Amino acid sequence: MGNVSVIASVKTHPAVLSHRPKAEQPPVDVLRPREGGLSQRLGGLVDGHPVVTFFLAMFGGLLVIAALSIGLGLFVTHVVEAGRIGAADERVNVWLAAHRTSTRTDASLIGSTAAGGVVLPILVGVLALVAALFRKWVLVAFFIFTLAVESATYRATTLVVHSHRPRVHRLEGLPVNASYPSGHTAAAIAVYGGLALLITSRVRNRAVRIVTWLLAVGMVAFVATSRMYRGMHHPLDVAGGVVVGIAALCVLVLACRAAEAAAE
C-alpha cells in the first residue's frame, strides 16, 4: 500500500503534470454563431427565416464593402498615386517587366489562370456540389456567394474608379483603365483563403492547419505576383484586392452565422 501511495503522489505531482503533453484545443466551426455576437443579433431580426436573414446580411455587407472599396480606390488614384508612392508603385512593374523570361512568363500565366474566370467558378461549383450532396446548405451558400460578393464588389469599384494599368507592355488585353483593384488577387483570397478557413476551423491537427494556411497564402502571393509581372496591376492594386477578398470572406462568415442563429 505504501508503494501505491508513493506512485500516486508522484503521478499527481505538479512537476510531473506540467511535463505531460497538453491536448490540442478542439477546432471551432467558423460558421457557427458566437454567443451574444453580432450574428445572433442579426439572426433575431427575422427569427426563424434563415434564408431571408442570410441574404439581408449578405447584401448589407456587400453594400458596405463596395463603398469601402470605391472610397479606397478614389483615395489611391487621386491622392496616393499622385505622389512619390505612385512613382515607386510604377517602378515595381517596370522592374518586373525588365526581368521577364519565357519560364517566368509561363509561370505567371499559370498563376493568373489559377485565379481566373474559368478555374475558380469550376472549383467553387464542385465544392458546392459536394456540400449539397451531404446537405450542408450553409457550406453551399458560403462557397457560391463568397466569390459572388467579391466579384460584385470588384465590378462596382471598376465602374467608378478609373485607374490606368502599369505603363509597361501588358501580356493580356484587358481594359486599360481598370487597374484598381486586382480582381484575381481578391478572388484568390475569397476562394483559396475561404477554403483554408473552413478546413482549419474543422481540423484538430496543428500541423495540418499550418500547412493549409501556408498553401493558401502561397497561392495568393503567386497570383498577386503573376498579375504584377504580366503588367496588369500595380502593387497598390494588389493591396486593394487583398482588402476586397478579406472583406468578402468576413461578410459571408457573418451572413452564414446569422442564418444559423435564425434557424436556431
pLDDT at 41 over 60: yes
pLDDT digits (tens, 9 = 90+) for 176-188: 999 999 999 999 9
Backbone angles phi, psi at 13, to 5 degrees: -65, 140
Task: Label residue 250 by pLDDT band (50, 70, 90).
Answer: very high
Whose cell is 470572406? That residue is: 249
3 inside domain: no
**Residue 11 belongs to a domain:** no
CA of 95: how far to CAs of 8, 121, 169, 218, in Å?
A: 69, 33, 12, 22
DSSP for 168-218, please give it: S--SS---TTB-SS-HHHHHHIIIIIHHHHHHHTT---HHHHHHHHHHHHH
Phi first, then psi, for residue 226 (nearest 5°) are -60, -40
Sign, CA torsion 123/129/134/135: positive
C-alpha cell at 103: 519560364
Residue 10: pLDDT over 50? no
pLDDT, average across residues 69-80 = 94
Instruction: Supply the range of the domain harboring residue 229.
Output: 23-263
7-11, 157-161, 171-175: the lowest-pLDDT one = 7-11
Residue 128 forms part of a structural domain: yes
Q: pLDDT at residue 21 above 70?
A: no
- pLDDT score for 258: 93
Q: What is the tens place of the pLDDT at every residue in 75-121?
A: 999 999 888 888 999 999 999 999 999 999 999 999 999 999 899 99
Tell whether the model's pLDDT for residue 197 goes beyond 90: yes
CA-to-CA distance for 140 and 133, rounded, in angstroms? 10
Question: Residue 118 falls within a domain, yes or no?
Answer: yes
How many other β-carbons are positioned within 10 Å of the β-carbon of residue 57? 25
For residue 214, the Cα-to-chain-centroid distance in whole angstroms is: 13
pLDDT for 18 equals 47
Q: State what percent of residues in the chain have pLDDT above 90.
A: 75
Q: Is residue 254 part of a domain?
A: yes
Q: Backbone phi, then psi, for 178, in 5-degree steps?
A: -125, 50
Asked if residue 4 is part of any domain, the answer here is no
**Domains contained in the chain, number:** 1
pLDDT of 220-247, one tens digit each? Answer: 999 999 999 999 999 999 999 999 999 9
258 occurs within a structural domain: yes
**Least confident stretch, 13-17, 45-49, 97-101:** 13-17
213 pLDDT tier (thresholds 50, 70, 90): very high
Between 48 and 40, the more confident residue is 40
Answer whether residue 22 shows pLDDT above 60: no
The answer to the question of residue 1 being in a domain is no
Cell of 76: 489611391
Q: Which amino acid is at 249?
A: L
Give residue 63's pLDDT band: very low, low, confident or very high (50, 70, 90).
very high
pLDDT mean across residues, the chain:
89
Query: Hey, which residues does 163 pair with through a beta bridge?
Result: 178
